[in-house]
Amino acid sequence: MKALVKTKKGAGNWEILDKPEPVVGEGQVKVRVEYIGICGSDLHTFEGHYNVNAEGLTIGHEFAGVVAEVGSGVTNVKVGDRVTSETTFTICGHCHYCERGEYNLCSSRKGLGTQQDGAMAQYVLTRAKSLHILPENVTTRQASITEAAACAHHSVNKAKFNKGAIVLVLGPGPIGLLVAQVVMAYGGRVVMTGLTQDMGRLMIAKEKFGVEHIVDVQKEDVKALVEKLTDGYGADVCYDCTGAVPSMHLGMELLKKKGQYVQVGLFAKNEVTVDFSKIIQKELTVSGSRSQNTHDWEPTLKLMSERKIDADKMITHEVGIDEWDRAYHLLKSGEATKIVMHPIG
């Protein structure tokens, strides 16, 4: 089968190669891939900022397809089922986190497309327990971005807010747009920020997804807007989806006392300067959000089936895995919001 493979360590080195089809083992399922979403971490891997030491690895962890074969002991899916999958491939199964279904925090976890061959191929081998059958009204094309949407759902659940709460979503990238949709589905009023260069995506947020307030922080006074909306108290919750230090500082500044701050985006450096005086004096609750876990998937698929997360509006381009270079430039230029790929053959 044809697969998009990271052939050597370091940046770049992605090639279409022939690989043998995966062999199903106990508790495993072979899925015929129909669509693969491109994640920001795929871009970081290509650029050499993430998963630098991967070698001979098939890329891709956002996907949906059809069950082609099941291994012994598999009872939750059958051949012909339309499915999507969590990224977890192996876990220890007995640590505190595994016992709670928080597989994203297991120290022994290996994920599809990062440590285990992923989905940018005709077939992918999955852990049966990671699979989710699609609702009847969700297509495999739509479902190929479920993992990204589940990450957004996971992030939103890191804070608690009431209906009508003022919620900051910093950054109008794909994850920011998904976070905004989940927040609105749960009753929050979104203020989304970006830079002047992000105005295209900010307009998409407002016109396509119904975000109530969009702000170019380089030209508009977001603090004045938030104070007006909250009688001077500040926002209830902030989700930073940028991973930019100035954005983090802005978010904490705009929160009310006892507000909740969630860091969603990854910073370029492991260590950044944080204003702990502000956290202490305002009694802020600060959380991080890593990926997604098994508890996020069914609620996410429900929101997708209800079109409260609108995959069709998120997906702007579709290409083959042999058009990776084109997809990369479309995403880096900001022309594309979300790209899905299809396998060769």
Q: What is the pLDDT of residues 33-55, one digit of tens each?
A: 999 999 888 887 888 777 767 78
HSE (side-chain half, CA atoms, 13 Å) at 37? 29
Q: What is the predicted pLDDT for the residue at 143?
A: 98
pLDDT for position 9: 84
Matching CATH number, 159-288, of 2.30.42.10, 3.30.70.890, 3.40.50.720, 3.90.245.10? 3.40.50.720
The residues with which 35 forms a beta bridge, in sequence order, are: 64
Average pLDDT rounded to a whole number, residues 255-276: 94
For the chain, the structural domain boundaries read 2-150+292-342, 159-288
Question: What is the band of 31 on the pLDDT scale with cuts at 50, 70, 90?
Answer: very high
Quick one: pLDDT band at residue 192, thresholds 50, 70, 90?
very high
pLDDT of residue 85: 97
Cα(first)–Cα(last) distance of the chain, in Å?
8
Residue 161 has pLDDT above 90, yes or no: yes
Structure tokens of 210?
A: 């119904």
* Average pLDDT of span 307-336: 93
Condensed to tens digits (0 to 9), the pLDDT of residues 219-239 reads 999 999 999 999 999 999 999
What pLDDT sits at residue 307?
97
Q: Per mean pLDDT, which range of 24-33, 60-69, 265-274, 315-324 is the poorest?
A: 265-274
Domain 2-150+292-342 CATH superfamily: Medium-chain alcohol dehydrogenases, catalytic domain (3.90.180.10)
Taking only the tens place, the pLDDT of each residue in 5-23 is: 998 888 878 899 999 999 9
Residue 56: CB atoms within 10 Å: 12
pLDDT, one tens digit per residue, over 76-129 is 999 999 999 999 999 999 999 999 989 999 999 999 998 999 999 999 999 999
- Label residues 151-174 b or e (16+ Cβ within 10 Å = b): bbbbbbbbbebeeebbbbbbbbbb
Report, as an integer, the average pLDDT of 254-274.
Answer: 94
- Average pLDDT of span 308-325: 95
Please report the pLDDT score of residue 52 as a whole number.
66
Band (pLDDT 50/70/90 cuts) for residue 257 is very high
Backbone φ and ψ for 190, nearest 5 degrees, come out as: -95, 135
The yes-or-no answer to whether 2-150+292-342 and 159-288 have a common fold is no
